[in-house]
Amino acid sequence: MFSLPKNVTLIEVGPRDGLQNEKNNIPTEVKLSFIQALHDAGIKEMELTSFVSPKWVPQMKDAQEIVQRVRKNGRQLVLTPNKKGIHAAINAGAESLAVFVGVSDTFNQKNINCSTSESVTALRPLIQQVKQDGHYVRACISTAFHCPYEGFIRPEQTVALCRQFVEMGVDELSVADTDGMANPLASHSLFSNLKTQFPEVLITAHFHDTRKMGIANIYASLQAGVDRFDTSAGGLGGCPFSPGATGNVATEDVLYLLQSLHIETGIDLTGICLAVDEVAPYLSRPIETAMYQLYKREQLERKE
């Protein structure tokens, strides 16, 4: 008989991963209101923004302003792809950094124009230095299950890449089903292995809901002992370098699952829906997640 965690941490990635591929330009003030509403709902860990080239990801061009103006609350992560991004983030005042590498060489080449091994080699001294300087470091492992260009990834490839980052001294591994091809058996197997291999590091599961398997994969990962999940309010998201990948699994839908299992998060589901209200009018597509739609119907019924 398996046992489930009593408490789970949700790392909100909506402001960064959720908005990075949004076609409409989202005003900085709207992003800040969105972030504050998520904090008000009880979110204690969040990806705020990304220090990437505005040429490639124009939505993140206000990264410095976001970091400097946001109210400090809990762990606030920023994505930093390289030395330039890391230095820009630290100069802006960021304390918690996220680096990312794809298990797949092809994905990595399309994403940051170098191979996986080249990325690891370049990041090693940077990670060691920022750790010495007292920063929190999260390693985001992309294409951990499947690559849109290379197909399915062997689990031992993912574990081997994770091991290299553990040896560098990262605090956390965020292991991603980038294009939504994982299934519950694969999720349970990989995360059971990672929890066993690296007990000293925080292990976070990051699922996209491209094929509506996100909730099933989260339940399987809970059974494997995972108690940290990346989620995105409103199911926002998608990867500009992963054709066809849709949004992350929705924070509000995951909250409903966890509440139904009597797992504590400290996050208010209605508060998350209120946060989605802050950004929804500015998006290029409607929010169609189950719990947000239920929330909107209940609002209409109260008005009638």
Give per-residue pLDDT as tens, 167-188. Answer: 999 999 999 999 999 999 999 9
Ranges assigned E (strand) in 197-273: 202-207, 228-231
Q: What is the pLDDT of residue 238?
A: 63
- Which of 270, 186, 187, 267 shows the shortest CA–CA distance to 222? 187
CA separation for the pair 125, 132 (Å, rounded): 11
Helix axes 105-112, 116-132, angle to 10 degrees: 70
Query: How many other CB atoms are there within 10 angstroms of residue 8's CB atom?
Result: 22
CA separation for the pair 199, 193 (Å, rounded): 10
- Annotated catalytic, 114? no
Give domain 9-303's CATH number out of 3.40.50.300, 3.40.50.1820, 3.30.565.10, 3.20.20.70. Answer: 3.20.20.70
CA separation for the pair 219, 191 (Å, rounded): 12
| CB of 281 closer than 8 Å to CB of 26 | no
Q: What is the pLDDT of residue 246?
A: 64
Q: What is the pLDDT of residue 245?
A: 52
Q: What is the pLDDT of residue 243?
A: 53
Q: What is the pLDDT of residue 304?
A: 76
Q: What three-state secondary structure class fits 46?
A: strand
Q: What is the helix (H) or strand (E) element at residue 47, kind and residue range?
A: strand 45-50
CA separation for the pair 16, 21 (Å, rounded): 9
Give per-residue pLDDT as tens, 227-270. Answer: 999 999 999 986 554 454 567 999 999 999 999 999 999 999 99
The partner residues of 139 in beta bridges, in order of sequence, read 99, 173
Q: Which two tokens stand for residue 26?
A: 């989202």
- Which of 63, 149, 139 shows the shortest CA–CA distance to 101? 139
- Which of 231, 232, 225, 233 shows the shortest CA–CA distance to 202? 225
| CB of 198 closer than 8 Å to CB of 173 | yes
How many Cα atoms are found within 13 Å in the side-chain-facing hemisphere of 54?
Answer: 6
- In the DSSP assignment, the letter for residue 249 is P
| CB of 89 closer than 8 Å to CB of 96 | no
CA separation for the pair 250, 236 (Å, rounded): 7
Q: Choosing from 140, 147, 239, 273, which is the catalytic residue?
A: 239
Q: What is the pLDDT of residue 242?
A: 47
Sign of the four-CA dihedral 96, 289, 258, 267: positive
- Which of 35, 36, 30, 66 shows the shortest CA–CA distance to 50? 66
Q: What is the pLDDT of residue 303?
A: 84
Boundaries of every domain in the chain: 9-303
Torsion of CA 37, 43, 44, 49, to 10 degrees: -60
Residues 6+ away with beta carbon under 8 Å from 302:
none
- List, for the chain, all residue ranges whose pLDDT scores fall below the cut of 50: 241-242, 244
Q: What is the pLDDT of residue 56?
A: 86
